[in-house]
Structure 1
Amino acid sequence: MCIAVFLWQSHPLYPFLLFLNRDEYLNRATEALRWWQDGETLGGRDLVGGGTWLGCNRHGRIAFLTNFRETSSIPDAKSRGDLPLRYLQSQKSPAEFAEEIEKEASLYNGFNLVVAHVFSKSMFYVTNRPLSQQQLVTLVSPGIHVLSNANLDSPWPKCLRLRDGFNQLLTQHPGGEFPVKTMVEEVMTDTVKDQEPDLPHVFPPDTEYHLSSIFVDVPRPAGRYGTRSISALTIKSHGQVCFYERHLEPGGGSWKELTQHFVIQNQTST
């Protein structure tokens, strides 16, 4: 399912700050954070579909994805995890790529996709499940945004809790270094759940109750399901990138940490 909070172009030190929990079956084959074979793309890999839920590259491109909560699906739909990867490995601007995906959006099950280029200050949100009369492609404004399994900035209680926790830490550290691990430990692992009246009422109440926390952990008939990884992606104004991941070992073993640092190349508006 996944949930993410991000700050875009509204901080003196960080043009971009992102925290994202990936929720998935613990037995789904997954590769941890690493550089891909092209040497340009950095992110985890879903070994079933072959794509990713969050990635960046050496040239300032960023892409991340969440699934849309819905009760029906397309049997032969294209893999949603391909969408971030296609953008990261393309030469298109965020606007051009968003326009391309808009034309084929019906081929996928419900998704939310954010694509950005940090130095062109360009970020677009694409969904194939828009609100009534809303366009599929939206320019993302500067500020704090939360994305879960409904439209961008939908007021689900878990999204509001995540926004509040993120904003509180920003207030405590105005203009300076942001405490990444504090955010991960204090906010992204929050297990507070909602009562029935506050649930989105898409799935049965018992199912939604267990999915209503920021950090998810629930047994299901197909296996244990929950937060597989917590990612933090920070980009400073001079192009220094820090990509941190805390992930569960395959099968739900111990938690491991990985961090990659690099400086964005060709810091131009592309």
Structure 2
Amino acid sequence: MGIIAFNWGEGKNNQLTLLMNRDNWENRVISGTSWNRNGQILSGRCVANNGTWFGISKRGRVAFLVNAEILLDDVDQYTGSELYPIEFLESKKSPLEFADHVARRERQRHNNGYMSDPAEGWSYSLIVADMTLNSMVHIRKPVQAESNVMIQPVPFGVHTLSPYDGLDSTELPRDLRLRSLFSQMILDLGNNELMEEISWRFMYDAEGGRDAVFLQTRDDHPSGELGMLRFGTTSTTALVVKRTREVMLFERYMEVNGAWTTHDFAFNIQ
């Protein structure tokens, strides 16, 4: 799961400003953000399948994902919607070409016998963008058991991304609260001001219980074997991509022992 607010800017100093909370069960091991082996892709990873929910490359490609199937915590070592962001970041396809590729892939998975059970499908919203092309596309698969994929270019402006309602949900209190907080942050953000301090204040907002931006609950794990576990926010990512091609990324994530670690990265799109 997760929750995201971002501003896809037209004009002004910042091309993209993004805040994201990643939510998952505490038994799922998540690594902090780091560079891949060739130093070209910056992302955190899920140890179970080496997938990610967010990444950015030095070529200016960005991908971020929210998915509903993570609630079931049924992770396959070789598949999952979390592999799509890495595939996009490594590919040379434009955002729209990649969206068409995902749609074809999902039809194949559902219609050609790749799944023994339709319930093994995925439900997700994925944003893929190329900063050098100034192009951003939303890829939405709303129903786990169906192959239908919706594709839409993302217009400029402030948006939220929800694992249940996709782009710009008007129904869920959690999305509406984050949109309000994020819109306020964008107005308060000065041209030369780093986003870190302001973003932390909003993304750690815990008002509203299960509808809070920062989620922390304890529930029975869906496997029925692990008992009561924490389900909630395990990382926060803040990203700014400037029109000068300068990138700033800040992260706070939960270690396996429950301690929180913060770090930041800065580089230029090549």
Classify 1:74/1:137 alpha carbon distance in 2 versus 1 (closer, same or farther; 3 Å): farther
Classify 1:73/1:33 alpha carbon distance in 2 versus 1 (closer, same or farther; 3 Å): closer
Kindly indicate whether residue 237 of structure 2 is the aligned counterpart of residue 231 of structure 1: yes
CA distance in 1, matches of 2:14, 2:192: 9
| Other-structure match for 1:159 | 175
Q: Structure 1 vs Structure 2: percent identity of aligned residues?
A: 30
Displacement of 1:103 in angstroms is 1.2
Do 1:166 and 1:183's aligned partners in 2 also have CA atoms closer than 8 Å? no
Displacement of 1:119 in angstroms is 1.9
| Other-structure match for 1:221 | 220
Displacement of 1:233 in angstroms is 1.2
Displacement of 1:228 in angstroms is 0.3
Q: Please list every run of 5 or more consecutive structure 1 residues that lacks an aligned counterpart in the other structure.
A: 194-209, 266-270
For structure 1, which segment, 118-127 or 164-173, has the greater mean C-alpha deviation from structure 2 after superposition? 164-173
Amino acid at match of 1:102: A
CA distance in 1, matches of 2:81, 2:135: 22
Alignment of structure 1 residues 36-185 onto 2, 5 Å:
36-68=36-68, 78-105=79-106, 107=109, 108-129=121-142, 136-149=150-163, 150-155=165-170, 156-173=172-189, 176-185=191-200
CA distance in 1, matches of 2:173, 2:255: 29
Displacement of 1:26 in angstroms is 2.0
SS in 2 for 1:103: helix
Amino acid at match of 2:83: D
Displacement of 1:171 in angstroms is 1.8
Displacement of 1:97 in angstroms is 0.4
TM-score (norm 1): 0.83
Stretches of 4+ aligned residues off by more than 4 angstroms: 69-77
CA distance in 1, matches of 2:199, 2:248: 14
Displacement of 1:68 in angstroms is 3.2
Displacement of 1:173 in angstroms is 3.2
Q: Please list every run of 5 or more consecutive structure 2 residues that lacks an aligned counterpart in the other structure.
A: 110-120, 222-228
- How big is the alpha-carbon RMSD for the aligned residues of Structure 1 and Structure 2? 2.3
TM-score (norm 2): 0.83
| Other-structure match for 1:258 | 263
Count of aligned pairs between the two proteins: 244
SS in 2 for 1:84: helix
Displacement of 1:56 in angstroms is 0.4
Amino acid at match of 1:189: Y
CA distance in 2, matches of 1:233, 1:242: 6
Do 2:25 and 2:73's aligned partners in 1 also have CA atoms closer than 8 Å? no
Amino acid at match of 2:213: I
CA distance in 2, matches of 1:75, 1:190: 29
| Other-structure match for 2:226 | none
Classify 1:158/1:71 alpha carbon distance in 2 versus 1 (closer, same or farther; 3 Å): closer
Classify 1:171/1:73 alpha carbon distance in 2 versus 1 (closer, same or farther; 3 Å): closer
Amino acid at match of 2:25: Y
